[in-house]
Amino acid sequence: MPGAQTRRAVVRRGRVLLEDYNSFCSSLPHATHVVQWGGAHVWKVGGKVFAIGAVGEGEQLAVTFKCSEFSYDLLKERPGLRPAPYLASRGMKWIQRQSGESMDDAALRDYVAESYRLVSAGLPKKLKSELGLL
């Protein structure tokens, strides 16, 4: 059945992308992982979210990350990217990459790393000291 083979290939590709996302996030110092909110892979530093990844429509990996105001203004209008549901509606500067065509994986890793830095910078000084992030 050709349709089943194609679907398996797409799902397998989605899992590889999810594994790559999780592997990258786990490489960041003191990053913790939890699966919550209906199966989303949520990455935190100091208990604060810096990235959310979930396989969505069409088995595409959607990744949500915090960004600077400048990056938010630049990215929010690009095809395949959007202000993150829930977070952006509350005035927070979060973007969701909905497909790999909108941003290559290297750029996505850079934005996730920047999200990690932004979230880390906002942690209380005592917690940053405990985590060795000062």
Give burial (CB, 10 Å; 0-12/13-18/19+) of 108: buried
Cα separation, 37 vs 20, in Å, equals 20
What is the model's pTM? 0.84
pLDDT for 9 equals 37
**Residue type at 63 in one-letter notation:** V
| Residue of 121, 16, 112, 25 whose CA lies nearest to 66 | 112
2-131: CATH class: alpha beta
pLDDT for 129 equals 93
pLDDT for 56 equals 75
Number of Cβ atoms within 10 Å of the Cβ of 22: 16
Q: Where are the domains of the chain?
A: 2-131
Mean pLDDT by 10 residues, the chain (134 residues): 39 64 97 95 97 84 95 94 89 90 89 97 94 86
Cα separation, 75 vs 83, in Å, equals 8
Cα separation, 62 vs 121, in Å, equals 25
Cα separation, 21 vs 13, in Å, equals 12
